[in-house]
Amino acid sequence: MEKPSEKYNKLLKITKNLEIEEEVLCLEQVLRSNLEIMNLKDKIERIESSLAERDKAMFYFFAMGLNGDEINFVLEKVNAKKKRIEKQKELEKQEKESQDEK
């Protein structure tokens, strides 16, 4: 275990001297919020790391420069393309099945 930081030791002293409930609740909220921020940063790091994988890296390069509206617009186009591909696959499957029946 590493040596506790100076800030940690100071905060422990401050905590020991707290007697007003509102201050205790504020400190608790700050600490819980800090933990949540740390968890979110870890999650963001994991997500970004997965986006840099080989099959996604090319798309990641372009997507990172987009704003929310641009991402949503491109996502609509991607979903439409995906539906067309799925529909085409289904048609090909049906054609193959009908040829197999003959």
User: In this predicted structure, what is the pLDDT of residue 59?
Assistant: 92
CB 35 within 8 A of CB 43: no
User: In this predicted structure, what is the pLDDT of residue 43?
Assistant: 97
Comparison of pLDDT for 53 and 84, the residue scoring more: 84
Instruction: Give one DSSP letter per residue of 59-78, joined into a string.
Output: HHHHHTT--HHHHHHHHHHH
Band (pLDDT 50/70/90 cuts) for residue 86 is: very high
- For residue 45, with 0-12 CB atoms within 10 Å meaning exposed, 13-18 middle and 19 or more buried, which class applies? exposed
3-state secondary structure at position 102:
coil
3-state secondary structure at position 3:
coil
Band (pLDDT 50/70/90 cuts) for residue 102 is: low
Residue indicated by tokens 């986006």: 51
Q: Which residues contact 15 (CB under 8 A, 6 or more apart)?
A: 27
pLDDT in tens, 17-71: 999 999 999 999 999 999 999 999 999 999 989 998 888 988 998 998 899 999 9
Q: Give the start-to-end residue ranges of the domains of the chain.
A: 1-65, 66-102
